Structure 1
Amino acid sequence: MKTTFKTTLLSLTSLLLASPVFAATQRADHSGLLVWLFLGFCGLIVVAQLVPAVLVMFGIVKAVASPKEVSGKA
């Protein structure tokens, strides 16, 4: 019984002492709607520039992979 009481008391004490650590891990950036809209707009710009780049890369791969035309002139 005495060991259980000691263990419980030690557990509660350590939990109370560690609680400020748990509180410090919460986010406190207070980002508003305008911040998220700005970040979304930046992401939209990145995606809009990636689409043509991917299309160009597919065109290059297609041109390299296609068979060469042989001209009849010697």
Structure 2
Amino acid sequence: MRGVKTLLTTFTLLLVVVSPALATDTTKTYNSGILVLLFVGFCALLIIAQLVPAVLALFGMTKEGAKGASGSKLAASAKKH
């Protein structure tokens, strides 16, 4: 068991040391302008603006469903007594 632990630790340290060497400099590869960033940000804003009402509607439907389920249980228990 100790040999496996040593092997995994060695492999992890090797990956930590080697991974920065595999990275590339983004100033050489990314040369899009500010307009591209603004467009992507606007698209993200549209997605978030549509996501907020959807999540609120989901919470509302869940809340109403829980009320309906508990109300039907109360009505069923009242009929038994």
**TM-score, with length taken from structure 2:** 0.51
Letter in 1 for 2:45: L
Segments of structure 1 that go 5 or more residues without pairing to the other structure are 1-21
Partner Cα distance (2:24, 2:51) in 1 = 35
Q: Does 1:53 align with 2:54?
A: yes
Q: Give the number of the structure whose residues are more often helix, by fraction.
A: 2
Secondary structure at 1:52 match in 2: helix
Secondary structure at 1:25 match in 2: coil
Moved over 6 A (4+): none
Residue number in structure 1 paired with 2:9 = none
Count residues in correspondence: 48
**TM-score, with length taken from structure 1:** 0.55
- How high is the sequence identity, in percent, across the aligned residues? 50
Segments of structure 2 that go 5 or more residues without pairing to the other structure are 1-20, 76-81
Structure with max Cα Rg: 1
Residue number in structure 2 paired with 1:31 = 32
Partner Cα distance (1:45, 1:60) in 2 = 23
